[in-house]
Every structure is written in C-alpha cells, then in structure tokens.
Amino acid sequence: MQSLVKGAAGDITCRVSSVLNRDTKLFGKQHMLDGSDETCWNSHQWVVVVFPEAVDVAEVRIMFQGGFVGQECKFLVSPEEKSKEFAFLANFYPEDCEAKRVRQLKLLFDKSTDFYGRVTIYQLDVLGQPSPAE
C-alpha cells in the first residue's frame, strides 16, 4: 500500500470549502499535503481530493489539532473526475468501510469540537493503489 498523496502532490488536486480569514498563505489547503507538523489548513465544512486516475482507497489518515477535530464526518466519493455529484460511502471511520475505486474523495465535517465549528488539519494522507484499468 502506498501514499496516494505524498510524492504525488503535483498530480493530485485539492479543493476546500473555505480558508480561515481567507488567509491562504497561513491556512491554505496546500498545508494539509506538505507533510509538515508546523503548517495546517484551517476552516470548516469539507475537503475534496481529486486523483489523476481512478484509485482504490484503503485508508485515510488525518492529524487534527486538539480542540479543532471534525465530528459526525462522512466519506463521499465520485468515480468521475469533474463531477460535482458525490455519493455517501460511510461515516468518517475508515476502518469501518471497504476500499472503493474512486477519482474523487470528499471529507465532509458536519460538526466540530470547536464552538465556532472550525476544523484544523495539519496532515492529510490517503493510502491505496492505482486501480487496474477496466
């Protein structure tokens, strides 16, 4: 099993619902994927990771900041690269769902431990492998 994010950051696309205070330099989406414990994405709602090819997702690893943890989260997936439609896969516990062949993976944070609903992510990684061609 390999990281589908680390080492491939030039190939994947990441979209987010918003950025804290619109300060992309300090809290932009790129910080989730840089592997540094010193930088983070900060906002609420959702993150979408778009892969350059269909992949079989086996595990998702997220390091949250204490007090800014997503709760009542969902995995939503899309087999299409440009689709805005996502299908519900499972609640946010990756060990409770089977690997799925997807082109996009959306993490939806319906609730947060923070009073204002903010979520802070220091690292995001997706493990799996490229799907065999159909």
CA nearest 89: which of 71, 113, 108? 108
pTM reported for the whole predicted model: 0.64
**Within a domain: 62:** yes
pLDDT at position 134 is: 56
**Within a domain: 134:** no
The domain in which residue 96 lies consists of 2-129
Alpha helix ranges (H) inside the chain: 24-27
DSSP letters for 49-83? EEEEEEEEEEEEEEEEPTT--EEEEEEEEESSSS-
Domain total of the chain: 1
pLDDT at position 93 is: 44
Residues of the chain with pLDDT under 50: 9, 93-98
How far apart CA 69 and CA 124 sit, in angstroms, is 13
Cβ burial of 56 (10 Å; 0-12, 13-18, 19+) is: middle
pLDDT at position 108 is: 84
- Cβ contact 19:120 at 8 Å: no
Which CATH number is 61's domain given? 2.60.120.260
Mind listing the pLDDT tens digit for each residue in 65-74? 767 777 778 8
**Within a domain: 16:** yes
Amino acid at 53: E
Residue that is written with structure tokens 């709602």 in the block: 45
